[in-house]
Amino acid sequence: MTKEETINKINEVKQMKLPHMTYAKVKQYHYGNILGFEETEENIKIMDEYFYRFLDPKNEQFKNGCWVCGNKDIYLSWGITHGIAHSNCCGLSYNVLHYPKDICKDKKLFDDCLKIILQYHPEGFEVRKD
Ligand SMILES: [Zn+2]
């Protein structure tokens, strides 16, 4: 992909208004109850705010595929940043390990870490003009 193609793709995908990840979807797709997590209104709000930056992997348009290049057969390689992996297709970053301290610095919301492969939502991407 050229830089121009990437810019066009990001702009195109942003127009699609794809669904964000939420705490309810984390429960539904992966965990049921999260060990040590207390389901208060405040705690759920904190989780929703954190997961908002990620794309719902079961969205209709891409369904576990890559929103940049459309690849459905993705495998990941770990990078040098702990918990972050990159796709074989176009190098898009995925956040795989979600630690309680990353989600909330002020209190420990749950035990251990959540292992959920999530792409960042396209709304979070911006292209520099230069
Ligand atoms: Zn890709």
Band (pLDDT 50/70/90 cuts) for residue 32 is confident
Nearest to 48 by CA among 32, 70, 25, 31: 25
Rounded distance from Cα 1 to ligand 1 centre (Å): 10
Rounded distance from Cα 103 to ligand 1 centre (Å): 26
pTM of this prediction? 0.88
68, pLDDT greater than 80: yes
Band (pLDDT 50/70/90 cuts) for residue 79 is confident
SS (H, E, C) 10-71: HHHHHHCCCCECCHHHHHHHHHCCCCCCCCCHHHHHHHHHHHCCEECCCCCCCCCCCCCCCC
Rounded distance from Cα 16 to ligand 1 centre (Å): 17
Provide the pLDDT for residue 70.
83
129, pLDDT greater than 80: no
Distance CA 6, CA 64 (A): 19
Dig out the tokens for 94 from the structure.
């995925």
